[in-house]
Amino acid sequence: MSTLIMAAPNGARKTKSDHPNLPISIDEVVAEARACRLAGAAMLHSHVRDKNGAHVLDHGLYRELLAAMKQEVPDMLCQITTESVGIFSPKEQAECLKEVQPDFASVAIREITGDQSGTAIDFAKGALADADAAGTRIQYILYDIRDLGLLRQLHERGMLPDRPLDILYVLGKYNPGFISSPDELDPFLQSDLGFIRSWMICAFGPEEYTSMIKAAKAGGHARVGFENNLMLKDGTIAPSTSALVEQLAQTVTPYTPTQAAELFGR
């Protein structure tokens, strides 16, 4: 099974009280990215934090992180996120994409479209078109099967950039305690995905590994790390995100960064 492994070492919510090795500063994120690259990850899914450790869509911090990654881990691709965390508006998400102009970004389709009124949809269309024109390859975050329906509808209406779509399916986002099950992948697999180029999953909790293997067997890709899960498959606490990457890389054949770039059309 050849699979793109994307490392997600911190996310928006966890702190060092959740795990002392969770990276917060840019230096810590880059150091963990280097370890994840050596363990088999071809790509980093990145969040940046402010001086108080809070998730932010700070243009300067993102540019600083991307520059540090290019300098310190040059053969690893880096994806930023515009995840709103219930804080940032579609306008702020779009501004982040415009100001940073990253090669890769993840965008939650339900968040960028706001209240999904005609005006909100038109705004999202323009923001995504601008990002595409700037060379940013978007991976659309889907929190449930309804988001897949929304993405399909927007695609059919010509509201998205005219290129094959890449998606991340989040398992267990609304489950009590954020605990995912591999079975939550089934509705997605049973859907018509003819308009999708690539798909990836992330999963919360101790069944992250099992979920990734199920996805890989079905032709999907894997985003793993402390953002969603702190546990190894044997139920013990992982020392780092790189340990979760290494665990998965022992079962699948990891994509190289070149293969990952080709997957996303760069």
CA 51 to chain centre: 23
| Residues in contact with 18: Cβ distance below 8 Å, sequence separation at least 6, in sequence order | 226, 230
Per residue in 44-82, pLDDT (tens digit) is 999 999 999 999 999 999 999 999 999 999 999 999 999
pLDDT in the model for residue 190: 86
| Residues in contact with 2: Cβ distance below 8 Å, sequence separation at least 6, in sequence order | 252, 253, 254, 255, 259
Hey, where are the domains in the chain? 2-263
**CA-to-CA distance for 227 and 194, rounded, in angstroms?**
29
pLDDT in the model for residue 89: 97
Structure-token match 């881990």, residue found = 73
Per residue in 77-111, pLDDT (tens digit) is 999 999 999 999 999 999 999 999 999 999 999 99
pLDDT of 266 > 80? The answer is: no
Q: Which of 50, 53, 47 is nearest to 100 (CA)?
A: 47
Q: What is the 8-class DSSP label of residue 176? A: G
Per residue in 165-205, pLDDT (tens digit) is 999 999 987 777 778 999 999 988 888 778 899 999 999 99
* Confidence band, pLDDT 50/70/90 cuts, at residue 232: very high
| Residues in contact with 152: Cβ distance below 8 Å, sequence separation at least 6, in sequence order | 195
pLDDT in the model for residue 188: 87
Q: Round the average pLDDT of the chain to a whole number and report it.
A: 95
Q: What CATH class does 2-263 carry?
A: alpha beta
pLDDT in the model for residue 194: 85
130: left (phi over 0), alpha (psi -120 to 50) or beta: alpha
pLDDT in the model for residue 193: 79
Distances from the Cα of 155 to the Cα of 105, 109, 191, angstroms:
18, 11, 15
Name 167's bridge partners: 140, 199
Per residue in 128-177, pLDDT (tens digit) is 999 999 999 999 999 999 999 999 999 999 999 998 899 999 998 777 77
How large is the C-alpha radius of gyration of the chain? 17
pLDDT in the model for residue 185: 93
